[in-house]
Structure 1
């Protein structure tokens, strides 16, 4: 059974069709990427998957269940978690309080403490700053907090929206190294990313989205070698 099956998904804002009948499948344990230019409909797709936007057509089946009518707050409880573009940390809470916000559906205190320690192992910088207010951190550190908070919610499917946005190249490398580690721990992931080269290098499969439609899909290595992808997204 697929972890996620999207069939003929349509999303519209007023009269504008942002997503025009796309199909997507993600198998359990896969790391899949969705690449495309700004305005292609990638973020609209992610927001619809977690119920933040209403679909105007098609179906979304997550973990064997149709998600129509599922309230937004229930997605996290079901293990479908999104790290939004712009990170969305709680600026006036400390790093550790932010991490604990990811575990608000849980009541296994020992497990929560163990997961916080695991996040500090992945991101030693956050351990140094655990009592610091998240709003005072750099963009890269805030991205680490957002990823750590998502780990605390024990996701079955993690959606990442533009994790490299606005970050220095060295920090981007670190973030993608952690994406690899989280994937290796068995978390299924859908990565939306403008840095097509990095996204395809880290993932197993990819979809290319243009003007609300999926125009190409396949093995990430094949997409990396495809001349159309290289010309459009890799600056070659």
Structure 2
């Protein structure tokens, strides 16, 4: 059961390794309930590895992953989904041979409240009308932006309290990216805690309440989105600006 005063997520000195290669080198990170927080950094910094460890698809070598006050290091990934953790992976991870509707309903496979699921599907269709137009279409034939919307909608149907998003804007046109970020911001406004990994640092920091900067497996900077947008180091390394 959630502890009332506990943050949604706390990583404490978490390390993750691939064999002898340590990809995440002892990081601390906290997300309070309902926060939209971004994690930025260069390719290979350890961002995706961090999300995978939180979701349970990779095992943390040491340290603590504390979710709603409970240490979950040894909890299997499928049980983390049942406890309200949903990951939208890099590359979307949709079922390309299933229809859009079948993909969406896969997000609700752990639920038994069928009437509420139908109501939530209708709300998703209102927010993302392009999805409704393509319910019978095979998901692999959708555009990249449409696939990303399906992936996010599928995750939302698991009723997450913590939503992990890995590079949702990758390879998408600016107008589509804007729509996706509007959806993400709307999700956070409903009280869902969101941890966003994003290469577009300016966009992520503009939307996020707080941010963490990751370099070579370590957290090197943290602050509000506005503070990091003004930070000379961030400007130089991630925003293409001369500080």
Give 5+ residue unaligned stretches, structure 2: 1-5
Give the alignment of 1:19-168 within 5 angstroms.
19-168=24-173
Residue 68 of structure 1 deviates from its aligned partner by 2.2
| Contact 1:115 1:151 survives alignment (8 Å) | no
Residue 121 of structure 1 deviates from its aligned partner by 1.2
Task: State the partner residue of 2:17.
Answer: 12
Residue 209 of structure 1 deviates from its aligned partner by 0.1
For residues 22 and 84 of structure 2, what CA distance do their matches in structure 1 show?
Answer: 29
User: Residue 52 of structure 1 aligns to a residue in which SS?
Assistant: coil
Number of equivalent positions: 236
List structure 1 segments (4+ residues) > 2 angstroms apart after TM superposition. none
| Contact 2:210 2:225 survives alignment (8 Å) | yes
Q: What is the RMSD of the two structures over their aligned residues, measured on CA atoms?
A: 0.7
Residue 54 of structure 1 deviates from its aligned partner by 1.1
Task: State the partner residue of 2:3.
Answer: none
Residue 62 of structure 1 deviates from its aligned partner by 0.4
Equivalent in 197, 218, 225 of residue 192 of structure 1:
197
For residues 20 and 191 of structure 2, what CA distance do their matches in structure 1 show?
Answer: 40
Give 5+ residue unaligned stretches, structure 1: none
For residues 52 and 20 of structure 1, what CA distance do their matches in structure 2 show?
Answer: 18
Equivalent in 196, 202, 205 of residue 207 of structure 2:
202
Task: State the partner residue of 2:225.
Answer: 220
Deviates more, 1:178-187 or 1:207-216: 178-187
For residues 68 and 198 of structure 2, what CA distance do their matches in structure 1 show?
Answer: 24
User: Residue 46 of structure 1 aligns to a residue in which SS?
Assistant: helix
For residues 209 and 102 of structure 1, what CA distance do their matches in structure 2 show?
Answer: 30
| Contact 2:96 2:140 survives alignment (8 Å) | yes
Residue 64 of structure 1 deviates from its aligned partner by 1.2
- TM-score of the pair, normalised by structure 2: 0.96
- TM-score of the pair, normalised by structure 1: 0.99
For residues 73 and 132 of structure 2, what CA distance do their matches in structure 1 show?
Answer: 39
